[in-house]
Structure 1
Amino acid sequence: MKEVYALPIIAIVSCVISLLLAFFLLSVKSNNRISNRLFATFLILSAIDLSGWFQYLFFSGLSNFGMAKSMFSFLQMPVLYFYVLSVCYSDFKLKAKHLLHAIPFVIANLVMIPRFYAVNTESKYALFENYNRIWEIIYIHISIELQFIIYITFIFVILNRYKKIYQQNFSDTSSKAFLWLFQFTLASAIIHSVVLVKNILKYTDRGKTFDSVQLLVSVLALIVICWYVFKALKYPELFNGVDSKTQLVTTSIDKKTVIRSEEINQLTSYMETEKPYLNPSLSIRNLAQELNMNSRDLSILINQRLNQHFFDFVNEYRIKEAMNILKNPNKKDVTILEILYEVGFNSKSSFNSAFKKHTGKTPTEYKKLA
């Protein structure tokens, strides 16, 4: 009985929080307008989906409205996919061709016309007397699961490519956007996996287990939605997209590209004398402009000839600078936190990871030995 009362209450709370966050994203002024609108749309669709757990409190019986509302589940993954694209790529724009992603939603509604939308209430109840054997419902469940698998695979492929491009073009040791999207996608995958188990149990005789799993899904949904709010409040300017036309160096190199040794000497000399790595937001485009080089040629120089990602290349100089400070007896009172900001890092975890990668020791251990 506890599940009966808890489920609608949790669902209502989740819906309210989702809609409030969606309203905030739609109303706030931001450079990430497209991303915010897509995320808000995803939250609204999630709220519509969650309302199925308490709609019986307001609408009784079977209706075309209730069925049409449930079909919006087909739009959640396409919107999530577009959201990921918009965060990863700063030049992403919604186009007419993206409407093709709504085809499964349209087909599902067409499937329900003959025996549900087009009949009276009595016929609807007659059809649903044996819910587990209605081929239209089985088709919808299978279609949603296949859609999820396809989109989640595409999203992880996009994230993998984005991470590689980011590493080759930016000096930050990590991208907050990548971490957020990876966590966001992983959370969605976990919840949907539990939903899949719930849907399978729906076709068995394990009624109590089904109720427990359904309650678990609602709790997980509430936790994840609260996490969305936390992220939105803590990181209002979270994203740093790359241009979608930017290619990976391994795919852009050609036979015409010739890297001369003097270019390597020019690069290393500039890094040692001018110390551009002290700028925490240094990108390969910025560095190329300072060197009067083509950013593509510089990327190939670092990634192919020096066999390093851009952020590894830059952080090597940052770590050397930090080592010099740690060994300097005149700066023994300078804290680790002060040092990491001074040499171009913007977080303690990034500095510690990079320092240990290059020296095999933590900054504190190195300072004691020095």
Structure 2
Amino acid sequence: MMQNLISHEPAVLLLGMTMCLFMALYFFVDSKDSKSPRRFLAGFMFVYGLTFADNFLDTSGISLQYPHVTGLLVPSFFLLGPLIYFYIRDMCDSRAYILDKSRYRHFILPVISILLMSAFYMFPEQFKRTLLTGENIIPETGFFLLGILGIMLVQIILPLQILYYLIRSYQILLQYFTRLKDFFANIEDQRLDWLRILLLMMSVQWIIYAYDDLIGWPEHWHDVIDFYTTLVDVGIIYFLSFKGLRHVAISGQEMTDRLSGEPKDRPVGSGNGARQKYAKSALSADDIKRILSKLQHALEGDELFNDSMLSLRSLSDHTRISTNNISQAINQSLECNFFDFINGFRIKEAMKQLRKSGEDKIPVLEIAHAVGFNSKSTFNAAFKRHCGLTPTEYRRQQASPD
């Protein structure tokens, strides 16, 4: 049964390659302008398609028939890391797109890999065939030893390079998630969680491929693992294609406007860092006190905290206080971010509703939506962070006699 499945691997590889090339063309043509992150996504899909093509040449036996095609596509694999990193970076900050000289350095390794493999490319056809069949008969000459050394270096450098860009991509997403809390009261729709899932899937694949390249799987596992990793690769492509299309459709303009007019160096967190950042600010302690009073009136008197779409920008428009001054007042005086500041008002109102009993008792989910939360899970997490209890536990505690 398993052997029958494995025999279909070339067909699966062709399916993945075709999908990659089609989506690469689509994303490239559909890019709205030269600064669209989709350009990087198109490049990533194209190179990912080349990995399927390289694997197909191997599993179909074409490499044995025409040994000179072996390894020709490998240098392009060094583009995978930079392309997915730039795509994620520009999705998280549309103003980051500048293909300047500082970015060109990320594309040096493909050139270096060509130089490292140049000796291997000049190997005689018969010698390449013996390497592919595992005979490993190496002539005692410097030229052949140099070629083998080049291959080994490429096999070591490639997984390390991809690991570096996976880590950098994770860091970009974490920074983005932290910054969201300075601008939005609800962040579920803004978090780009699908990119985290993508990076997780790619990280699992990286572990499998790195182990195979650097150590190698036992012979009786090798074909099975290759087949299932191919299936996962195809799954990654379909996942990325669907999410890439869907994300741009619902959030493309939003990503352009999301942080418009906001300083990129806004302090993250609170405490001493925020105070040092605002040390030269023109706002006095009395100014901050007046701002907080006006914010409290708007949020409690006008019940703005009930608005699930409330943002720093909309609060600024309502109060006619600049976003910078609102942020400074919250960060410096209350030592919290906008997200936690608004949730404090929501939790306070929720606690009042949860204390009701009898006929006035309201379901927890209804309370969550009424005070501005989009989901029960987010409400539970925020409530527990502020009170140390879940809403249900808090209600039970209030209902029980002392």
**Count of aligned pairs between the two proteins:** 367
Tell me, yes or no, if structure 1 residue 340 matches structure 2 residue 345.
Answer: no
> Cα–Cα, structure 1 residues 224 and 253, in superposed 2: closer, same or farther, change >3 Å?
same
Q: 1:49-73: CA deviations, max 9, x gaps?
A: 1222222538443455553322211
| Contact 2:278 2:328 survives alignment (8 Å) | no
- In structure 2, what is the equivalent of residue 247 of structure 1? 265
1:112 alignment partner, SS class? helix
Partner of 1:82: 86
Mapped to 1, the partners of 2:295 and 2:246 lie a distance apart of 38
**How many angstroms does 1:162 deviate by?**
1.7
**Are the counterparts in 2 of residues 201 and 209 from structure 1 also a CA contact under 8 Å?**
no
- CA shift, 1:194, in A, is 0.9
Report Cα offsets for 1:181-228 as digits up to 9, x if no partner.
2222222112101111111244x8x43233333234223323433433
Could you list the per-position Cα deviations for residues 82-140 of structure 1 after superposition, in whole angstroms to 9, with x for gaps in the alignment? 01111110213241322321110011112323441x56645654776638971111111
Equivalent residue runs for 1:7-46 within 5 Å: 7-23=9-25, 25-26=27-28, 34-46=36-48
- Structure 2 vs 1, CA of residues 207 and 127 (structure 1 numbering), >3 Å: closer, same or farther? closer
**1:292-332: CA deviation from partner (whole Å, max 9, x where unpaired):** 33322321221231022211111121223334445567984
**TM-score, with normalisation over the residues of structure 2?**
0.77
Q: Which deviates more from structure 2 when the two are superposed, residues 258-267 or residues 138-147?
A: 258-267
Q: 1:39 to 1:347 in 2, by over 3 A?
A: farther
Gaps of 5+ in 2: 139-144, 268-272
Cα distance change, pair 233–102 in 1 and its aligned pair in 2 (3 A):
closer
Q: Return the letter of the residue paired with 2:265.
A: Q
User: Is contact 1:177-1:238 (8 Å) kept?
Assistant: no
* Residue number in structure 1 paired with 2:206: 192
Give the whole-Å Cα distance in 2 for the aligned partners of 1:36 and 1:295: 30
Are the aligned partners of 1:168 and 1:303 in contact in 2 as well (CA < 8 Å)? no
- 1:141 Cα shift? 0.9
Where relative contact order (Cα < 8 A, 6+ residues apart) is larger, the structure is: 1
Q: Distance in 2 between matches of 1:270 and 1:230?
A: 41
Q: 1:315 is matched with which residue?
A: 343
Secondary structure at 1:169 match in 2:
coil
1:237 to 233, 250, 263: 250
**Secondary structure at the counterpart of residue 67 of structure 1:** coil
What does residue 379 of structure 2 align with? 351
Q: What amino acid does structure 2 have at the position aligned with 1:10?
A: V
Q: Does 1:219 align with 2:231?
A: yes
1:283 alignment counterpart: 311
Percent same amino acid among aligned pairs? 25
Distance change >3 Å, CA 353–CA 42, structure 1 → 2: same
- What is the TM-score normalised by the length of structure 1? 0.83
- Shifted more, 124-133 versus 35-44: the winner is 124-133
Q: Which residue of 1 aligns with 2:168?
A: 154
